[in-house]
Amino acid sequence: MNMKRILLLLLALAMALTMTACQSGEATEGSKPAERVVNVFNWEDYIDPAVIALFEEETGIKVNYMCFTTVEDMIVQVEANPGAFDVCFPSDYIIERMINKGMLAEINFDNVPYSDQILDFLLYPDYDPQNKYSIPYMWGTVGILYNTTMIDLDPDNTSWAILWDPRYQNSIFMMDSIRDSMGVTLKYLGFSANSTEIPELFAARDMLIRQKKLGVVKAYQVDETKDKMVAGEAAMAVMWSGDAMYAIDLNEDLSYFVPMEGSNVWCDSAVIPITAKNKENAEIFINFLCRPDIAAMNWNYIWYSTPNKGAIELIEDPDGDYAYDYTGNRTLSPTPDIMAKCEFFRDIPEDYLSVYEALWMDLKNTK
């Protein structure tokens, strides 16, 4: 090989290395997406597939969509696989935990202009008080789904006490969830759903053991409950409002309420791990989800409450695609009086979480 050819090859190699270094620097500074891809980690069946297809078509950014089954599993996966996920959708108390552990990047809201559509009451929440790290995706409540042919409910006495009514033998589904089942019991007893007072926690455990011994609990479960309620297998179930909407849509005998003592109001939000490789693409994706027409599409597919003001206007438009009385639906839109009695779950300190887990095992081991 002659000297001229060698020099040309060396020059080409130097130019390639320079271009690679510039691209790397631009991606690090956030001026350009590193790749035309965004890695999304979400609950299963928690987005309209048409939304993903539309996003890819409009932006040219490919979505790698991965699913988790619990938020606890999600946070473990994010910690164990740095750089694998660009957008995640944890629940409120897990967001607080991730913030405290330094796991989340601050969102550049200049890249998420549609975030101005978020309902006011979901801004600056307890779990993200500076409103830097999360943007609400879906929200809802925990309440009671019941069969109106099996229960003659007094609308002026919608108490959690009905879960301890001995008339409903083997006819109540409870949530197989420490925070939810302990939380509603704490609210019934007049305590905070985030209590770390040991006597209060023991009192909640004792109430749940009493309920079990009354013979009213048919099962502790989660995902399968909605279909069993549609099939008429129980009189009532403690349930998330979105699952309740799914069941009500399939069985007109079903109805839902948040008891008068109050409950948990929850919010699943979009966050960006600090290890994300495609942060700008993540912000483009989050902004797309906040666009009112897209948020309305997701609401229509998922049936949880939307946090998006513009979406609610589209949903209620009598001449639009949905023409649905969203604000008149108390499952989707609880009254201000009820909302005032509801709490977001906070991240329980580890020492107290071990107490919750021990008391939960006491309940599960009770015959």
Which whole-number Å values give the CA distances from 114 to 61, 63, 309, in the listed order? 19, 20, 10
CB 168 within 8 A of CB 174: no
CB 314 within 8 A of CB 296: yes
Instruction: Write down the pLDDT at residue 25.
Output: 30
Domain boundaries, the chain: 34-133+266-316, 142-264+342-364
The whole-angstrom separation of Cα 36 and Cα 32 is: 10
Mean pLDDT by 10 residues, the chain (367 residues): 38 34 32 73 95 98 95 94 98 96 98 98 95 98 97 88 97 95 98 97 98 97 94 97 95 96 97 98 98 98 96 98 96 94 94 94 93
Give first-to-last CA distance, the chain, whole Å: 85
Give how far the C-alpha of residue 258 lies from the chain's centroid of Cα atoms, to the nearest Å. Answer: 18
In sequence order, the 6+-apart residues with CB closer than 8 A to the CB of 324 are 315, 316
Which whole-number Å values give the CA distances from 121 to 183, 189, 326, 331, 344, in the listed order? 21, 26, 17, 17, 12
Instruction: Write down the pLDDT at residue 320.
Output: 96
- In this structure, which CATH number among 3.90.550.10, 3.40.190.10, 3.40.50.2300, 3.40.50.1980 belongs to the domain 142-264+342-364? 3.40.190.10
Assign domain 34-133+266-316 to its CATH architecture. Answer: 3-Layer(aba) Sandwich (3.40)
CB 181 within 8 A of CB 362: no
Instruction: Write down the pLDDT at residue 152.
Output: 87
- 142-264+342-364 shares the fold of 34-133+266-316: yes
Number of separate helices (H) and strands (E) present in the chain = 13, 9
Instruction: Write down the pLDDT at residue 367.
Output: 85
Q: Quote the tokens at residue 34.
A: 């590193």
3-state secondary structure of 360: helix
Q: Quote the tokens at residue 367.
A: 């015959």
Instruction: Write down the pLDDT at residue 198.
Output: 97
Half-sphere exposure of residue 282, counting CA atoms within 13 Å on the CB side? 31
DSSP labels for 18-49? HHHHHHHHHHHHTSS-SSSEEEEEEETT-S-H
Closest CA to 275 of 105, 41, 134: 105
φ, ψ (nearest 5 deg) of residue 223: -65, -35
DSSP code for 154? -
φ, ψ (nearest 5 deg) of residue 286: -65, -45
> Whole-prediction pTM value?
0.86
